Copies of this chain bind each other. A is one copy, B any other.
């Protein structure tokens, strides 16, 4: 049986970039710049709660980091590096190798190198803790509290795919299982538009990543900014594979479906040209889906089905 230090060495001892000190001391060291703030975000993922025991470990490694760099992008921050805590009931070499492969590919895609961590034995299932750090210009951070009446509301990528994938994996809607292959990747391998988020710093106002559903996450911006929002349902970018599904499922998936890890952000109408240009440079699809207004609450206009009270609620772990 491998020792703890060997275990770390074998799967996670990737070379640290120039100017970094990686695994092997009391702390990792990351370069920091003047005139910036350090941005930091953390997530704790628990087997049975956030993922199934039989999940593809490579997808799990990918997603464990993706959800954190997504938060950096939603702040307008440039990733600096991340640390990983891993608690395992036993050492499964093939599982670890696949997990590390998925984590590393996301680290490379997002420019967020792994610089340290902690591994430990778990008496229960697998537990994964990821903390990602980035830097953002002092004045450019995309705060939830920065939306202004008159701002356009933008969404990157498409909506609804992860929600439909999750329901199909849970055995619901058996008449639509043929759709699963098309939507599964959006649930298991989200690709948050991190570098685009970094580029938005100073151009957009407020931003959030869509993890709990568009309405619930937009609502965080509205509360923090003391504003209201009008959403133009027909303008929402629906995942292409959802076309043949029932309107009830599609509407719920688009408005309330979580696990999207795309951005919802607001910006002055004058910034539209610049934002479209940045999106083109970063290969990101963007849509204007509504407008920030004075007041409070969200109004969804021209939805296929009437909106009920429940449609405005998201997911809350301890409710």
**Which positions in A face B, CB cutoff 8 Å?**
1-5, 7, 21, 24-50, 71-72, 74-75, 77, 80-81, 83-87, 91, 115-125, 127, 129, 131, 133-136, 141-145, 207-209, 224, 316-319
Residue contact A40 to B46, C-beta cutoff 8 Å:
no
Residue contact A122 to B318, C-beta cutoff 8 Å:
no
Which listed residue (B31, B127, B143) contacts A21, Cβ 8 A? B143
Residue contact A26 to B71, C-beta cutoff 8 Å:
yes
Residue contact B131 to A26, C-beta cutoff 8 Å:
no
Residue contact B117 to A24, C-beta cutoff 8 Å:
no
| 9 tightest A-B CB contacts, nearest first | A124-B124, A34-B34, A44-B85, A129-B129, A131-B131, A27-B39, A48-B123, A26-B74, A29-B37
Residue contact A85 to B135, C-beta cutoff 8 Å:
no
Looking at the assembled complex, report how far the CB atom of A172 sits from the nearest CB atom of chain B, in whole angstroms: 22
Closest to A123 in B: B48
Looking at the assembled complex, report how far the CB atom of A27 sits from the nearest CB atom of chain B, in whole angstroms: 4
B residues near A2, Cβ cutoff 8 Å = 318
A-B contact pairs, 5 of them (CB 8 A): A1-B319, A2-B318, A4-B317, A26-B41, A31-B38
Residue contact B143 to A40, C-beta cutoff 8 Å:
no
Looking at the assembled complex, report how far the CB atom of A298 sits from the nearest CB atom of chain B, in whole angstroms: 18
Looking at the assembled complex, report how far the CB atom of A54 sits from the nearest CB atom of chain B, in whole angstroms: 15
B residues near A4, Cβ cutoff 8 Å = 316-319
Decide yes or no: A85 and B42 within 8 Å by CB, A37-B32, A49-B123 being known contacts: yes
Residue contact A87 to B44, C-beta cutoff 8 Å:
yes
Which listed residue (B5, B131, B141) contacts A42, Cβ 8 A? B131
Residue contact B131 to A40, C-beta cutoff 8 Å:
yes
Which listed residue (B25, B115, B121, B124) contacts A123, Cβ 8 A? B124
> In the bound complex, how far is the Cα of B141 from the Cα of A209, in angstroms?
36
